[in-house]
Structure 1
Amino acid sequence: MFLDIAMPGMDGLELGSRLARMTDPPVIVFVTAYDQHAVSAYGVGAVDYLLKPVAPTGCRRR
């Protein structure tokens, strides 16, 4: 599941924490503009933390 830190309602870290408590939790990747939350994201079980803007590997911007 791709989550952002800033989301309406609850933030992505809170949602990630709730998802991590599931019997069979989804794989979580944060895609966000906020680099200061990376440690917390890994603390709730995220497998990766990508900073926006994200460009596909091997693609060149023009």
Structure 2
Amino acid sequence: MQTALQTQRTALQQSGIATRQLADAQRTLKARTAEANTHLATQQQRLEQQAVQQKRLTNARSR
């Protein structure tokens, strides 16, 4: 089992992937994904608010 792990680690390193940094990279990716999701949720709320306001303006103009 240890040999298989070392073989995989060697293959990843030859591909340019440092296995000791995978956990750090995963944490960074998780944080960036969460941040992007927060920005997307904020943007969605703003779009919904704009749609409501646009609907109000359209209704006011049609009266």
The TM-score, its normalising length taken from structure 1, stands at 0.23
Relative to total residues, which structure has the larger helix share, 1 or 2? 2
**Higher RCO (C-alpha under 8 Å, 6+ residues apart):** 1
Relative to total residues, which structure has the larger strand share, 1 or 2? 1
State the structure with more CA Rg: 2
